Structures are given as structure tokens and as C-alpha cells.
């Protein structure tokens, strides 16, 4: 029987994730201790989002959940605590930010936060938080017309990958005398064990207890999996190996690995590592 083998929350887009034993599932993605996945994001002075594609040092910023606080750490720096209480509805704190083709209003965090993160990655930046009053739609092309909302994730609330898919890639890497990669290079929220390689690609639904999920769009890959998530240093890029067998005609030949997923049923339910999964295939 397939099981849910890992849960990961990414409070700040492009920064390190937090492995969890349990998490609440919401229509916007995972949540733990009131903190939602990709609820915060770093932007440049023009309001454009920052990622590990251009700033791999973001991987070295590690968030922790401590007594209802979000505390971030980075090498050579004192920890910095980010308030998690909802920000006051002060219009002066609202800024427009850009993530891919979307322009959305966000709450700008403190100048102290901007200074800390700017020092951590070595370029001027600002920390912003997704506005609770706002909704950012996912592409209905991939949700069968269903209205799905997300925060600062690239496009969908959740990303799922199977252990077998990574094992398949690592076999191919090792056949080329290259080191295997850990799962954190691909930054999934949900990891599933006990299925065949890339079975997630063909799933119509994934049920975990009272939670029903639907895979939507294959996840196109950029150079981020080349970044060592412990050191923030780019290394050999696995895209050359993936290119040989993971070019996806549904996305005009883009290399895909993992499936973007959204919630059908079970908002507010708790997922736990070790829970059994039922996967209904689409054929």
C-alpha cells in the first residue's frame, strides 16, 4: 500500500523547507502552527520575486517553527524572528509585487527584515507577506475549470513526487558515475512511497484519509535541482539526464518531474507521515 513518506512546508518562497510529521491541508496548501506554505516571499527593489535560479544562497536561509514564531537562520548571522500574527490592515504597508505573470498586493514586512535578508543573500531585497484578503488563481486550464487558489507558490497549492521517481533518476545518474540527489533538490510538499516510478503522473486522484487531492499539471523543471540545498552552491545539473526521458509533450517538450496538486475534499484535515494513500489512476 502506498504511504505518505514525507511532508514539507516552505514558509518563505525559495528558502529552505521545514520537514513535518503532520500538517493541516488547506485549499492554499499545507499549514502548520498557523503558518501557510509560501506565505512569505523575497522581492527585489522593483517588487519582482527572487528565486534560487538567480540567488542560490536562498537555500541557506533556514526557517524554524518555535513557540508560535517563525525564526530564520543563515550562516554567520544571528537568528531573526518574524511575527506570525496577521499584519494590521494598514494601507501604507501594501505593495504590488510580481510573481511570474501575476501582479498581486502584498504586505511589506519591517525594514529590519529587509536588512537581515539583504545581508543573508548579499543583494538588496524586501520580505513581503501574502495578503489574507487576496486570492491568486491557479490556471483553470489545468484544474478542469475548478477555481483553485494559491499563495506565492509557482502555480499550484501542492507538489507531489514519489520516492520511486527519484530512485529512477538516481539510478540513471549513478550509471553516469554521478552522485545521487536527495529529494530536497526538487522541493516537494508531499512525498509518496510504495508506488512505481512516475505513477503520480498518471493519477486521477490521491486519497489520504479524508483528504482527496487531484494532480493537475506536471511540474516543469528549471536549474534549481542543481543547487545543493545545504550549501546553496550549484553543482551538476540533472536536467541533461532528465532530458533523455522526461521531455513532456503536454508542455511543449519541457522537462517535468513531479506533479502539481490541488485539494478536492478535506480542507482542515491533518495529514501525517506514514498515512496510507489510495491512488486512482486516470486510465
Instruction: Give per-residue pLDDT as tens, 43-74.
Output: 999 999 999 999 999 999 999 998 878 999 99
Q: Are 52 and 60 in contact (CB under 8 A)?
A: no
Q: Are 35 and 23 in contact (CB under 8 A)?
A: no
**Weakest-pLDDT range from 69-78, 132-141, 208-217:** 132-141
Q: What pTM, to 2 d.p., does this model score? A: 0.95
Half-sphere exposure of 248 (CA within 13 A, CB side): 16
The predicted structure's pLDDT at residue 67: 81
- The enclosing H or E element of 172 equals helix 163-175
C-alpha cell, 226: 542543481
Instruction: Give per-residue pLDDT as tens, 158-202.
Output: 999 999 999 999 999 999 999 999 999 999 999 999 999 999 999
Sheet-wide strand order for 270-272: 35-36, 29-32, 22-26, 270-272
| CATH of span 3-23+138-281 | 2.40.33
Domain ranges of the chain: 3-23+138-281, 35-135
Q: Per-residue pLDDT for 12 more than 70?
A: yes
Percent of the chain with pLDDT over 70: 98
Of 173, 161, 166, the residue nearest 240 (C-alpha): 173
Amino acid at each position: 500500500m502506498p504511504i505518505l513518506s514525507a511532508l514539507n512546508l516552505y514558509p518563505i518562497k525559495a528558502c529552505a523547507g521545514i520537514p513535518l510529521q503532520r500538517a493541516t491541508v488547506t485549499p492554499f496548501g499545507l499549514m502548520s502552527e498557523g503558518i501557510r506554505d509560501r506565505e512569505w516571499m523575497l522581492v527585489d527593489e522593483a517588487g519582482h520575486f527572487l528565486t534560487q535560479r538567480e540567488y542560490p544562497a536562498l537555500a541557506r536561509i533556514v526557517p524554524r517553527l518555535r513557540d508560535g514564531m517563525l525564526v530564520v537562520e543563515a550562516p554567520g548571522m544571528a537568528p531573526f524572528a518574524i511575527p506570525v500574527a496577521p499584519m494590521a490592515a494598514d494601507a501604507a504597508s501594501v505593495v504590488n509585487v510580481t510573481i511570474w505573470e501575476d501582479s498581486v498586493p502584498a504586505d511589506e514586512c519591517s525594514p529590519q527584515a529587509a536588512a537581515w535578508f539583504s545581508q543573508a543573500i548579499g543583494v538588496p531585497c524586501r520580505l513581503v507577506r501574502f495578503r489574507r484578503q487576496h486570492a491568486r488563481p491557479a490556471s483553470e486550464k489545468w484544474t478542469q475549470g475548478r477555481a483553485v487558489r494559491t499563495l506565492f507558490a509557482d502555480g499550484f497549492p501542492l507538489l507531489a513526487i514519489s520516492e520511486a521517481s527519484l530512485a529512477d533518476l538516481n539510478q540513471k545518474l549513478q550509471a553516469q558515475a554521478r552522485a545521487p540527489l536527495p529529494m530536497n533538490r526538487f522541493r516537494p510538499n508531499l512525498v509518496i512511497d510504495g508506488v512505481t516510478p512516475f505513477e503520480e503522473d498518471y493519477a486521477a486522484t490521491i486519497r489520504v484519509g479524508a483528504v482527496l487531492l487531484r494532480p493537475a499539471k506536471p511540474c516543469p523543471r528549471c536549474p534549481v535541482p542543481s543547487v545543493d540545498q545545504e550549501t546553496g552552491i550549484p553543482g551538476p545539473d540533472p536536467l541533461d539526464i532528465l532530458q533523455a526521458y522526461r521531455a513532456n509533450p503536454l508542455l511543449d517538450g519541457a522537462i517535468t518531474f513531479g506533479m502539481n496538486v490541488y485539494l478536492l475534499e478535506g480542507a482542515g484535515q491533518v495529514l501525517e507521515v506514514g498515512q496510507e494513500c489510495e491512488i486512482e489512476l486516470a486510465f
